[in-house]
Amino acid sequence: MKLLSPRQVVVRIAIIISLAEFLIMLVLGVLPHEAGAYADAILDVVMLALLSTPLIYFWVVRPFVKDRDEALSQINQLAHLDPLTHLANRRLILKHLQKCIASNLRHQIYGALLLLDLDEFKQINDAYGHDVGDALLIELTRRIQAVTRAEDVVGRLGGDEFVVILNHLDTNESGAREKATQIATKLIELVSEPYQQSEKQMRVGASVGIRLLEPETINPEKAISEADMTMYRAKQAGKGRVEIFEK
């Protein structure tokens, strides 16, 4: 996609006006009329506007506006999506998390923030290269999306850290804990299944920290930080585990 340059816009408008004026002069020269110079000038202007305006709109204005809107859409996507996995990046994660917190408060219901970090991923990168590591992350993205609901948000904080925002889990804290733990456990199981890349079979594990989102105001950055801290506690406890943040 390439926007029309100012030069292209000017050239297209000049071509349209020139051709329209040429046609008008031919018509006025062929058709018999006895109007004066003033009347001819008015007729010329009216006919020029009628002929050139639609052409300028369809050949200049419309494609320019369409290309501009597509460019703005791409810029917006780049600003909010992870370039490798096309998941929400940190900026968009924070926006979704803020909405989730507000919705939990309004409906008096629990949600959860899951922070997943791969175990032994660095060894994959070191042994097989970053291209294989990137392919593994893309496959991991597909697996995470397969186990989450449509209303949930999956994002990538960077590296091998992923986030899942679970909306509207349960009105009861114990029910929300159980559901969040079940989803986190399923994620670990899916992540741990073998990966086939370039005739190589690889395995990685995952540790998950859960930060329940109570029906109260919570700072999104703090929620992520507490989920991250809980995830590292899961790693220290032996990896491949789920831990829930306790106040």
**119 noted as active-site residue:** no
Interior CA angle at 83 toward 77 and 85, to 5°?
A: 105
Angle separating helix axes 220-236 and 90-107, nearest 10 degrees: 100
Q: How far apart are CA 60 and CA 49, in angstroms?
A: 15
Looking at 119, 160, 170, 228, which residue is catalytic?
Answer: 160
Residue type (1 letter), 50: L
CA 186/CA 208 separation, integer angstroms: 11
CA 187 – CA 148 distance, rounded (Å) = 9
Q: Which residue has the tokens 């789920």?
A: 242
Beta bridge partners of 81: 88
Q: Strands 242-244, 161-170: parallel, antiparallel or unpaired by DSSP?
A: unpaired
Catalytic machinery residues: 160
